[in-house]
Amino acid sequence: MRNLLLISCLIVLLMILSSCRYDNSDKAELESSETVLIQNETIEEKLIDIQIEKKSLSRDLDSLLEEEDITLMIKEDDFLYMSATKDFTSMILAILKGKRQPVYKDKNLNQHHLKLKFDGYEEIYVNLDYNSFWFKGESELYNLPWRLDEPFRQQWDRVIIKVINNKAHYDSFEKTIIQQNQSVDLDYDGQSDPIILYYDGRVRLRVGKEVETMTEWLAENKIRADDDGNRYNGMFKTIVSENGRGLLYVDGPMEWNQSYRLQYYTYDQNDGLERVWDGDEPDENKVVNYDGDTIAIAFNNGDLQMEINLTDEEKAEVDDYIEYHKENGLDLLTDDWLHNKGGIRGYNIIDIDDDGEEELISYKYMVSGAIGLSCQLLSVYGFTNEELILENVIANPDMDFVEECLSQHIYNHSIQVN
Ligand SMILES: [Ca+2]
Ligand SMILES: [Ca+2]
């Protein structure tokens, strides 16, 4: 009699499940998993749970992307659902965070290669070829940034499944090591801190357990390309000096990035890996004087100063600017007067002042937005544990000197800024 009751209830349960919008393959999985669960719970409780779960499955993508401790099950084509490890779940969330604004989903686009089931959320369907995803049943989809030759599928082809506690888990993406250094002690604790620059669909910099993402999606052929202009050519250099230890990351120029990207990282056990300087941000500067012929600009709150000799044309523009602003109660002395234009055109790491410590030299074009004034700037930075310190600035340096300082690390220096 008890068995009969159980069977009747199961039939009711299965009818309810059938009325829900599961497709057949999902239903089969759910039926078997539910049957097991029923051994530990009363049927009434289970029915209520299912009803609540069906009602309360969220489709709030913003809140999902903020989740830090959520479980993820992934179903790939005809496979069964498999768990993702915590790290892999974070990786998938980071990928979804790159989404663009939602767009209307073409009714014909129903093909999906992956189903992502985050706990408490409606299933997300992913089309790997189109780099797009959407909540099951939604009429809008989200695209991930991509170019024609860089669909998500390339990254997914690198997926690694690991068996943990006798269960298979989605675990990581296969890595291609670009550069590594196993012997530098960055945090002065007497132990070396392994540094690895690797590719797993994006380029990442790993120091100890800390990982920083250095590029967006990058096709694998960009890592291996023969053609210099088309190849990703990032690298890091460890800085170990009396003044400090750190890591300088450099990449570029490439066809999609027409200047060098320079970033300085420090590493210690408390703060981890920290980007403390970004070459794209201009050094703080301010106009401190204009005598009718030259304009004086101060950096570092006045510690460093440089003068730019103006042409007659530039003088006329500055005079006009001052006249106009006087009428409006303003003056020339504004902060961050000069801005980088077109990024860093050259760099090098050399001991430019022969004091036994290396410095970073960057070469860039600077423009003032207010006036059509431009100059070329050679900046010299010293390395410390906490930051890069601007030690010298040279306006409009002699080109032979620039080429000598930067050797091969100079790009397209003949470009003129208007
Ligand atoms: Ca160490
Ligand atoms: Ca030096």
Give the residue among 371, 359, 250, 270 at the shortest CA–CA distance from 320.
371
Q: Which residues of 350-369 are buried (b: 16+ CB within 10 A; e: fewer)?
A: bebeeeeebbbbbbbbbbbe
Task: Report how far ligand 1's centroid is from the alpha carbon of 193 (Å).
Answer: 5
Does 148 score more than 70 pLDDT?
A: no
Identify the sign of the CA torsion 219, 225, 228, 232.
positive
Task: Report how far ligand 2's centroid is from the alpha carbon of 285 (Å).
Answer: 23
Q: Considering the chain, what is the average pLDDT of its residues?
A: 83
Task: Report how far ligand 1's centroid is from the alpha carbon of 267 (Å).
Answer: 9
Q: CATH topology for 61-172?
A: Dna Ligase; domain 1 (3.30.1490)
Task: Report how far ligand 1's centroid is from the alpha carbon of 235 (Å).
Answer: 21
CB proximity list for 337: less than 8 A, separation 6 or greater? 285, 286, 287, 297, 368, 370
Task: Report how far ligand 2's centroid is from the alpha carbon of 393 (Å).
Answer: 14
| Contact (CB, 8 A) for 58 and 122 | yes
pLDDT at 98: 84
Average pLDDT over residues 352-370: 90
| Contact (CB, 8 A) for 304 and 298 | yes
Q: Report the run of H or E that residue 253 belongs to, with start and end.
A: none
Give the residue among 362, 339, 336 at the shortest CA–CA distance from 349.
362
Distance CA 15, CA 31 (A): 11
pLDDT at 418: 40
Task: Report how far ligand 1's centroid is from the alpha carbon of 402 (Å).
Answer: 36
Task: Report how far ligand 2's centroid is from the alpha carbon of 398 (Å).
Answer: 20
Task: Report how far ligand 2's centroid is from the alpha carbon of 36 (Å).
Answer: 71
Domain map of the chain by residue range?
A: 2-53, 61-172, 176-276, 285-406
Task: Report how far ligand 1's centroid is from the alpha carbon of 192 (Å).
Answer: 5
| Contact (CB, 8 A) for 192 and 184 | yes
Task: Report how far ligand 1's centroid is from the alpha carbon of 194 (Å).
Answer: 9
In this structure, which ligand is nearest to the CA of 188? Answer: 1
pTM over 0.85: no
CB proximity list for 131: less than 8 A, separation 6 or greater? 143, 144, 145, 146, 151, 152
Give the Cβ contact number of residue 120 at 10 Å. Answer: 15
Between residues 225 and 385, the one the model is more confident about:
385
Q: Is 320 exposed, middle or buried (0-12, 13-18, 19+ CB in 10 A)?
A: exposed
Q: Output the CA–CA distances (angstroms, integers) from residue 30 to 50, 104, 225, in the order listed.
A: 11, 31, 47
In this structure, which ligand is nearest to the CA of 352? Answer: 2
pLDDT in tens, 196-232: 999 988 899 999 889 999 987 787 888 888 887 788 9
Average pLDDT over residues 293-303: 88
CB proximity list for 296: less than 8 A, separation 6 or greater? 287, 288, 289, 290, 305, 306, 307
In this structure, which ligand is nearest to the CA of 350? Answer: 2
Task: Report how far ligand 1's centroid is from the alpha carbon of 394 (Å).
Answer: 36
Least confident of 125-134, 290-299, 320-329, 406-415: 406-415
Between residues 106 and 25, the one the model is more confident about:
106
